[in-house]
């Protein structure tokens, strides 16, 4: 989206302010990263993230918000001139802009602030000191290998965008969004308890998904299932998320 500060009225009205804002660093969503990953983040990576965050704010967000504010002012004045300053239309537009629904602002606010990332990393490092190191078993090594293969295929650079310590978490985070559109995965998760009614069996599970597990609950509450998520390979030799061990219990 162009960010020129001297746009014409027509250019402002035709500017799309709903584009997603993304950074290169996975630290932009630090709450989705577990403590094991955060504890391995270096001071250099923190500094680099702060620079990237600041540059994005200065080059994209600030000028975009400036244009959006000008566009908002034009819209408010036009509505007041057409319907009157005390009209319900004018009041509606005022509430729309002040009600927290501006996508550009919300997109930016969803990106982790560097100070919050630094605090999370500090806490994770302290937590890591209290846990003794354990050797990796064969399953862990396989997961790391699959994660590295997937990330390299996606254009990530080893040693720059990820390391062997955080590869699995970053790969899982990247794949989570695909799970909700994977029909085979969806079908595998639609199990029902023997006590569930026919009405319940015709209803979909309520599912909550993150990079560590899938929690699902049937509509009648008779059964809850918690699956761990692992990396696997499908018939086309593509790396995907698979359902690992699960716990099943009555609601």
Q: Flag residues of the chain having pLDDT under 70.
A: 1-5, 131-139, 177-197, 199-226, 244-251
The per-residue pLDDT for range 159-192, each reduced to its tens digit, is 778 887 788 888 887 777 565 555 555 555 555 5
pLDDT reported for residue 8: 87
Q: What pLDDT digit, counting tens, does each position of 54-79 carry?
A: 999 999 999 999 999 999 999 999 99
pLDDT at 13: 86
Q: What is d(CA 127, CA 132) in angstroms, rounded to the nearest whole number?
A: 10
List Cα–Cα distances, 132 to 97, 121, 164, 216, in angstroms.
51, 18, 18, 33
Helix 114-129 to helix 43-56 angle (10° resolution) is 160
pLDDT at 104: 93
Q: Is the pTM of this model over 0.85?
A: no
Which residue carries 């002012």 as its tokens? 73
CB burial of residue 170 (10 Å; 0-12, 13-18, 19+)? buried
Output DSSP code: residue 241.
Answer: E
How confident is the model at residue 205, as a pLDDT? 61
């Amino acid at each position: 989206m162009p960010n020129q500060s001297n746009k014409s009225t027509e250019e402002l009205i035709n500017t799309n302010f709903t584009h997603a804002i993304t950074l290169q660093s996975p630290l932009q969503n630090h709450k989705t990263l577990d403590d094991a990953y955060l504890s391995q983040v270096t001071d250099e990576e923190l500094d680099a993230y702060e620079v990237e965050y600041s540059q994005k704010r200065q080059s994209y967000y600030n000028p975009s918000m400036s244009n959006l504010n000008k566009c908002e002012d034009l819209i408010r004045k036009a509505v007041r001139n057409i319907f009157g300053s005390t009209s319900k239309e004018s009041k509606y537009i005022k509430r729309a802009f002040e009600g927290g629904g501006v996508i550009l602002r919300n997109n930016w606010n969803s990106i982790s602030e560097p100070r919050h990332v630094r605090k999370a990393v500090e806490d994770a490092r302290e937590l890591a000191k209290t846990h003794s190191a354990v050797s990796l078993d064969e399953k862990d090594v396989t997961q790391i290998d699959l994660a590295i293969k997937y990330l390299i295929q996606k254009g990530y650079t080893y040693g720059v965008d990820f390391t062997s310590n955080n590869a699995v978490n970053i790969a899982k985070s990247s794949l989570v969004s695909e799970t909700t559109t994977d029909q085979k995965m969806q079908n595998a998760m639609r199990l029902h308890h023997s006590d569930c009614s026919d009405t319940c069996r015709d209803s979909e599970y309520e599912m909550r998904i993150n990079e560590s597990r899938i929690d699902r609950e049937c509509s009648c509450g008779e059964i809850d299932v918690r699956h761990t998520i692992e990396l696997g390979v499908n018939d086309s030799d593509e790396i995907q998320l698979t359902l690992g061990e699960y716990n099943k219990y009555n609601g």
